[in-house]
Amino acid sequence: MYLSLYPSIHPSIHPSIHPSIHSSLCLVFLPLCGSMPLAGWVESPGYPRGYEPFTSLTWARCAPPGHTLTLALTHLDLEDGYECENDALKVYADGSLISTLCGTMSLEELRLSVNPSLVSSPGGCLNMSFSADYSNTERHAGFRGFYTIQDYDECDDPNNECSHFCYNFIGGYMCACPPGYLLNADNHTCSVSCTEDLSGSVRGQVNPPGSPESYADDAHCSYSLSVQEGLQLVLEFIGDFDVEAKPNGECADAVRIVTRSKTHGPFCGTVAPGLIDTGSSKVQILFDSDSAGTNKGFTVVYKTKRMTCPIDVTPHSTVRPLHQQYVTGATLTVTCDKGSAVELPSGPGIKSNMTYETRCQKNGLWKPLYKCQLVDCGVPSLPYAVKVEELVSTHYKSEIHFNCSSKYYQLESEEAFTCEAQGLWESRTGQTKMPRCLPICGLTETKTFSSGRILGGKRAKPGDIPWHLLIKSPRGGASLINDRWAVTAAHVVDGHKSLTLHGGMVDALYQKAVVMETEKIIIHPDYEKGISDDSRTSFNNDIALLKMSSRVELGPNLIPICLPEKSEGAALEGKMGTVSGYGMTDKVNTARMLHYADIGEYETEKCNETPTNKEGNLVIFTGNMFCAGLEGSSDSCQGDSGGPLFVPKSGMGNLGDPYRLKGIVSWGPNCRDHSYKGYYTKVQNYLAWIKETIDQEEQ
């Protein structure tokens, strides 16, 4: 709504508005009176006689909320100049320059080209600044303008968002709704008032507001139906069904039928739902529409019939007796199917294959009601490196298969496991313990061994002997036998509570070696402790197990070696094996690089030619040892103790005949006296002790 003051004021009234006009204005703009004038004149100093040199003027006014401030120049006579460099009048709206004026313009020119732009935003401000230079020889009159505060018609603003009707008033606006609609809390949008309680009515019909013509926009209707217990409501859509749907089939508008236990719908489109036996004495019919569309709606009629209880009491069960309908008072015996169970509300846990009796109540519900649910075996707890191929379901009769997370492991059993009725995963052979992934042992990824110089031996390259571990202090070796255990000679680790081992390398100074810390050192219980190695006369049971503090990550340069098979013979019988170590060579006492040598096992008679210790006493040879070497050529030596002697010899292992740990470097004569004979702990004699110890530690 705009109120123009300019035409009602005679130009001769100056400089203020006539009192009678001001009084009438206060009646119209009562909230604004007393704060600021609603209209007035603004002019340059000395107008109309002319302004003096170096004259300046600043002027500012602001409109109250819901109003705008307009300025209409009636006279403009200033000194002209290039880009108004001499005298200039500048007008600002809300802080932004909107016009720079100079020269002389007629009233018509001002009305057409200047005045329409001299308007503030709602609640905004207008500012003017006038400045003259050093001369006004032509006695230019200056300027004069009339300002007014006018109500802003917010209803013309496309951003006011009134959904239906907009009414402007001085200083603001309001949104309104057509009959039957309510203004929402946002004070801009309207929704239809269609909430109705039809409780007690046993017959009738429901239509959305506006139907059978186009139903109302932005409707959110709720029709509540309620009848006495023992009766249930039956709903049927009759006549045309026309509820707006989107092109993809989803509902733009929708009708829903809600009971205490179920929601039917949403329904939309042009195909009416079928007859709905609600099975409930209380029903809500809900209808929602958006802000557009010309659809016709629907008609749903309701009636009652005697309450019945659902035929399907609970899934995964059988009932007796079996009828087409169960009315109030009927009783049933419910038995959960095999593989389903009931979680009792009280008492111990889950009860499988439960049988119970239930009765149809007036409210259409069975009581008591225990839901038979499929037994859920849950996600199995898997051993290290084991993973499930694909876990689709964990319920009764679901089947899972396993594999290993690394190519350096192999499943000990590839049986599938099935979720059984007792809630356990079970294999076809009755196993309930999950299969393990065991490290693949005794297979190297290198095909040939490199040459080089162990005493009289060759230098290994990465991956040749990936089970060999180095103990730097005390100097010795060990063999990795799985991803957490290693075996070594007892005399190497005797007296030590913890050790550091290095693997995955052939260079003792390799910076990226795999470093392993021991969690436990277990020396064979029959090993004789506390005797100096130099004076020792018995190295019987010279074997120890090392448990790492964590599993090692296997790779091409770090792989365990297989233990011997129980059926292997005691002697190599002419076969060759390989011994490796970082010990003494022909040139140095301790080698930086890993060396190996192919050697043969001697007959027992030759091994009985036992050497003496440094004190000259014979060292006892027992059946827990064997000796090996290659006369005039190679042998293990000082610093190699605890390291492996494995078969077959280097470069000959394969999938059918993997490398196995035959012996552990134990003792021997001075290896530089060229007797080339070393004594080794016979690992085959300790298979039972190794297995029992590891099993006990990993329980």
Quick: pLDDT tens for 460-489. Answer: 999 999 999 999 999 999 999 999 999 999
Length in residues, the chain: 699
Q: Of 374, 400, 425, which closes a domain? A: 374
* Nearest CA-CA partner of 189 in 223, 220, 214, 215: 220
Q: How confident is the model at residue 607 (pLDDT cuts 50, 70, 90)?
A: confident
| Residue 79 annotated in ligand binding | yes
What average pLDDT score do residues 612-637 get?
Answer: 73
* CATH code, domain with 619: 2.40.10.10
Q: Which two tokens stand for residue 425?
A: 């995963």
Pairing label, strands 297-306, 231-242: antiparallel
| Residue 154 annotated in ligand binding | yes
Cβ partners under 8 Å of residue 435, min gap 6: 383, 386, 402, 411, 412, 413, 414, 415
Q: What is the pLDDT of residues 123-164, one digit of tens each?
A: 899 999 999 999 888 899 999 999 999 888 888 888 878 888
Q: What is the pLDDT of residues 551-585, one digit of tens each?
A: 999 999 999 999 998 866 544 455 789 999 997 65
Q: Which residue has the higher pLDDT, 572 or 39?
A: 39
174 domain-assigned: no
pLDDT above 60 (res 685): yes
| Residue 153 annotated in ligand binding | no
Contact 596, 580 (CB under 8 A): yes
| Alpha-carbon gap, residue 41 to 63, rounded angstroms | 16
509 domain-assigned: yes
162 domain-assigned: no
Percent of the chain with pLDDT over 90: 60
The reported pLDDT for the residue numbered 693 is 97
pLDDT above 80 (res 180): no
Residues 24 and 91 in one domain: yes
* 508, HSE (Cβ side, Cα atoms, 13 Å): 19
The reported pLDDT for the residue numbered 22 is 37
Residues 530 and 581 in one domain: yes
Q: How confident is the model at residue 620 (pLDDT cuts 50, 70, 90)?
A: confident
Residues 122 and 206 in one domain: no
* CATH code, domain with 63: 2.60.120.290
150 domain-assigned: yes
Q: How confident is the model at residue 173 (pLDDT cuts 50, 70, 90)?
A: confident
Instruction: Give kind and range of the element (H or E) at residue 492.
Output: helix 490-493
Q: Which two tokens stand for residue 226?
A: 């309620």
Residue in this structure with the two tokens 């827990």, named with its chain if needed? 624
688 domain-assigned: yes
Instruction: Give kind and range of the element (H or E) at residue 343.
Output: strand 340-343
| Residue 87 annotated in ligand binding | yes
Q: Which two tokens stand for residue 274?
A: 């079928």
Residues 402 and 287 in one domain: no
Domain that holds residue 244: 191-306
Q: Of 155, 183, 213, which closes a domain? A: 155
Residues 490 and 425 in one domain: no
* Nearest CA-CA partner of 543 in 523, 572, 565, 564: 523
| Residue 109 annotated in ligand binding | no
Give this prediction's pTM: 0.58
Q: What are phi and psi of 218, to 5 degrees?
A: 50, 40
Q: Of 139, 155, 171, which closes a domain? A: 155
| Alpha-carbon gap, residue 65 to 70, rounded angstroms | 14
Percent of the chain with pLDDT over 70: 86
Residue in this structure with the two tokens 């739902």, named with its chain if needed? 273
pLDDT above 90 (res 504): yes
67, 75, 140, 491: the catalytic one is 491
44, 641, 650, 666: the catalytic one is 641
What's the domain count of the chain? 5
| Residue 337 annotated in ligand binding | no
Q: Which two tokens stand for residue 80?
A: 């002209």
Residues 51 and 71 in one domain: yes
Contact 101, 84 (CB under 8 A): yes
The answer to whether residue 641 is catalytic is yes
Residues 527 and 655 in one domain: yes
The reported pLDDT for the residue numbered 192 is 81
pLDDT above 60 (res 23): no
The reported pLDDT for the residue numbered 41 is 94
Cβ partners under 8 Å of residue 612, min gap 6: 618, 619
Residues 325 and 271 in one domain: no
- Bridge partners, 264 (sequence order): 257
pLDDT above 70 (res 17): no
Residues 676 and 571 in one domain: yes
Average pLDDT of the residues of the chain: 85
CA distances from 204 to 63, 213, 225, 383 (A): 59, 20, 10, 66
* CATH code, domain with 429: 2.10.70.10
77, 218, 464, 542: the catalytic one is 542
Q: What is the pLDDT of residues 238-267, one digit of tens each?
A: 999 999 999 999 999 999 999 988 999 999
The reported pLDDT for the residue numbered 189 is 84
- What residue type is 398 in one-letter code? S
pLDDT above 80 (res 507): yes
Cα(first)–Cα(last) distance of the chain, in Å?
89
Residues 83 and 51 in one domain: yes
The reported pLDDT for the residue numbered 169 is 85
185 domain-assigned: no
Residues 369 and 465 in one domain: no
1 domain-assigned: no
* Pick from 76-80, 253-257, 261-265, 536-540: least confident: 536-540
Residues 518 and 631 in one domain: yes
pLDDT above 70 (res 19): no
| Residue 253 annotated in ligand binding | yes
Q: Which residue has the higher pLDDT, 383 or 616?
A: 383
| Residue 250 annotated in ligand binding | no
The reported pLDDT for the residue numbered 29 is 40
The reported pLDDT for the residue numbered 570 is 47
Show the beta-strand stretches assigned E in 30-141: 39-43, 56-62, 67-77, 88-93, 96-101, 104-105, 125-131
| Alpha-carbon gap, residue 127 to 531, rounded angstroms | 107
| Residue 420 annotated in ligand binding | no
SS (H, E, C) 231-266: EEEEEEEEEEEEECECCCCCECCEEEEECCCCEEEE
161: left (phi over 0), alpha (psi -120 to 50) or beta: left
165 domain-assigned: no
Pairing label, strands 195-197, 220-226: parallel
The reported pLDDT for the residue numbered 377 is 92
| Alpha-carbon gap, residue 662 to 543, rounded angstroms | 13
The reported pLDDT for the residue numbered 350 is 63
| Residue 695 annotated in ligand binding | no
The reported pLDDT for the residue numbered 25 is 37
* Pick from 107-121, 394-408, 665-679, 681-695: least confident: 665-679
CA distances from 468 to 461, 582, 644 (A): 12, 10, 7
Show the beta-strand stretches assigned E in 401-548: 402-404, 409-411, 417-419, 425-427, 437-439, 458-459, 468-471, 476-480, 485-488, 500-503, 514-523, 544-548
pLDDT above 80 (res 444): yes
Q: What is the pLDDT of residues 286-306, one digit of tens each?
A: 999 988 889 999 999 999 999
| Alpha-carbon gap, residue 280 to 361, rounded angstroms | 11
Q: What is the pLDDT of residues 349-381, one digit of tens each?
A: 567 778 999 999 988 889 999 999 999 999 999
